[in-house]
Structure 1
Amino acid sequence: MEGMVGVKIPPGEDQAEITRSMRDLPPAHYTFKIENFSLLSNSKVDNIESGDFEVGSYKWRLCLHPNGNKKSNGDGHISLYLAFSKANAPPIGWEVNVDFKLFVYNQTQDKYLTIQDANGRVRRFHGMKTKLGFDQLLPLTLFNDESKGYLIDDCCIFGAEIFVIKHTSKGECLSLMKQPVNGRFTWRIPNFSALQQIFCKSEEFSAGGHKWALVVYPKGNSTVKGKSLSIYLFLEDREVFSSGRTMYAEFTLRVRNQLFGQYVEKKANCHFSNSIKNWGHLEFMSLDELNTPAKGFLVNNTVEVEAEIHFMTVVKELSGGGPIIGVKT
């Protein structure tokens, strides 16, 4: 469509900039077909309205001025508006925020001219403003020219697509926490060589507002049984998963050398979730090294295992909604 598609149109009175583009998909919510359009445009009818249709729990209708809305800078154009149905127009003091598109079907190209506000503008319907749209949808000279494809055999088709923005007053605050309080935990495991269970779990410890534990496989887990010690950090707090969230953490796992005051340590990171409640190292260290008393890791048949959380995300509910991200150091 010469000179129209993709062009921003300067605003008229009570009109913001609008954009026009062509697309293949028909309007998602409503189609308004008019036959014998010339009889309408040659009559004394100033405007005509469609029937009601429901979107976003509200009832709407389309309002067309076939010769332009002369009261609102629409002379010489087709004017088209989205209007609240008179059956459920909002009372004074209420408002509904809407992002909408209006359409004109190009029958020659089999495409839909899409007209919408530029720059993502959202329109506000309220008790004193129940009809909003475009005064200068299309010039009449263009619309009435059958070769352009919008009015063929005296028939034309309009449409609407509506997204109602509803405020749910829900949200969350994501904090990024470094070195959480009590984020370092040491677990002394007595009678280590006599342990018969496949794995053992420490008591819970709290860090960053959540409950954690260490899990150790004294004889190794899965494919490393009898070869390596396996250690994992376990998130005990199930509430973090109640809404499908994930929680990210960076941490270090250690086994202390009790003779020389050193550590074997390995770092890890994980997005904990419903499907991933623990993370660590399958092959942390060899059992031969661990179980040799002279190496210093097994002293008085006791092993010391440690976890230190360096960084984690903490999520809290917001009552007012809206994304807020903070950083704690």
Structure 2
Amino acid sequence: MSLHLVINEPYNFGPSGRVLVDYKFFISDNINGTYVIFKEKGKELRAFSSVQTRWGLSKFLSLDSFNNPQKGFRDRDFCKIGAELLVSKSKRRKETLTIINPSPSEITPKIRRFSALNSSPQYSEAFQLGGRQWKLKVRPQRNERGMWLSVHLEAQSISPGKLLFIKAILRVLNTDPRRNKEHTVSGRLYAGNYTCGKPSFMPWGNLLQPNGGFIHRNELAFAVKILTISDAKRTDEPVG
């Protein structure tokens, strides 16, 4: 299998007559929930022009590997293949995107001394996941359907210029696992917006039920699993 990038508008290059691009390809490993990354050997930057409109890998992946069920590249008749691109100019703002393969394990943080009568935000202890510190924030939130438990995943200390793209599973645990409440959340996080979650995660009344199983010994317990996380950074640098 070959894989190439082809520029869409080969004659719209501006005064330089070319566009410099640094790129990587990746394919999803559905068995391990990770990405396998491929990068062309040689120069960091490739020049796209009206003459050279295509760059890539003539031997991206063998058909034997692609069709091997133990590799996990195919999920029935589907596969996920993508590209990470950095477009450069003589003076450029560099944006790098790093796909982090998170641990497949779950973290089980708790909010200690949780009170279902408290309308203020309540936080879990900090925990490490995907190479970063996180907390869970919960609070009651009312909408036209009543009062709900709002659950948000909150990144700690995102520096200016950093971007995080995240997808995660959040689960509120019950003493009876069949009654656990779970949602998948995703978001684009940065210094001015560092949370993602579900405002109407579960009815608030579930927490008020006597012996309802969610509040155990004055604690509200969760399970958190990060499915995908991409770490982006913007910097200004000259082109050598």
What's the TM-score once normalised by structure 2's chain length?
0.54
Query: Is the contact made by 1:229 and 1:287 (CA closer than 8 Å) also made in structure 2?
Result: yes
Counterparts of 2:205 and 2:96 in 1: how far apart (Å)? 47
Counterparts of 1:192 and 1:171 in 2: how far apart (Å)? 44
Counterparts of 2:144 and 2:127 in 1: how far apart (Å)? 28
Deviations 1:127-167 (A, max 9, x none): xxxxxxxxxxxxxxxxxxxxxxxxxxxxxxxxxxxxxx635
Which residue of structure 2 lines up, in the alignment, with residue 213 of structure 1? 135
Shift, 1:199, TM fit: 0.6
Counterparts of 2:210 and 2:235 in 1: how far apart (Å)? 53
- Cα distance 1:315–1:291, how it changes in 2: closer, same or farther (>3 A)? same
What's the TM-score once normalised by structure 1's chain length?
0.41
Which residue of structure 2 lines up, in the alignment, with residue 307 of structure 1? 224
Secondary structure, in 3 states, of the residue corresponding to 2:176?
A: coil
Which residue of structure 2 lines up, in the alignment, with residue 177 of structure 1? 100
**Which residue of 217, 239, 249 maps to 2:166?**
249
Secondary structure, in 3 states, of the residue corresponding to 1:99?
A: coil
- Cα distance 1:290–1:259, how it changes in 2: closer, same or farther (>3 A)? same
Secondary structure, in 3 states, of the residue corresponding to 1:257?
A: coil
Counterparts of 2:123 and 2:210 in 1: how far apart (Å)? 23
Any gaps of 5 or more consecutive residues in structure 1? 1-20, 22-97, 101-117, 122-164, 323-329
Which residue of structure 1 lines up, in the alignment, with residue 35 of structure 2? none
Counterparts of 1:176 and 1:321 in 2: how far apart (Å)? 24
Counterparts of 1:231 and 1:214 in 2: how far apart (Å)? 7
Query: Is the contact made by 2:90 and 2:238 (CA closer than 8 Å) also made in structure 1?
Result: no
- Cα distance 1:227–1:256, how it changes in 2: closer, same or farther (>3 A)? same
Counterparts of 1:183 and 1:213 in 2: how far apart (Å)? 17
Runs of 4+ in 1 over 4 A off after TM superposition: 316-322
Which residue of structure 2 lines up, in the alignment, with residue 204 of structure 1? 126
Which residue of structure 1 lines up, in the alignment, with residue 50 of structure 2? 119
What letter corresponds to residue 158 of structure 2 in structure 1?
Answer: R
Shift, 1:320, TM fit: 8.3
Number of residue pairs aligned between Structure 1 and Structure 2: 160
Verify: 1:235 aligned to 2:155, yes or no: yes
What letter corresponds to residue 175 of structure 1 in structure 2?
Answer: T
Verify: 1:166 aligned to 2:83, yes or no: no
Deviations 1:234-276 (A, max 9, x none): 112221xx12x53210011111111346521011111113443
- Cα distance 1:274–1:293, how it changes in 2: closer, same or farther (>3 A)? same
Counterparts of 1:194 and 1:310 in 2: how far apart (Å)? 30
- Cα distance 1:271–1:291, how it changes in 2: closer, same or farther (>3 A)? same
- Cα distance 1:317–1:190, how it changes in 2: closer, same or farther (>3 A)? closer
**Which residue of 261, 280, 291 maps to 2:208?**
291
Q: Report matched runs for 1:1-329 at 5 Å.
A: 99=16, 119=50, 166=90, 171-178=94-101, 180-181=102-103, 184-193=106-115, 196=118, 198-217=120-139, 220-223=140-143, 227-239=147-159, 242-243=160-161, 245-260=162-177, 263-315=180-232
Any gaps of 5 or more consecutive residues in structure 2? 1-10, 18-48, 53-88
State the percentage of identical aligned residues.
23
Root mean square deviation, CA, Å: 3.7
Larger radius of gyration: 1
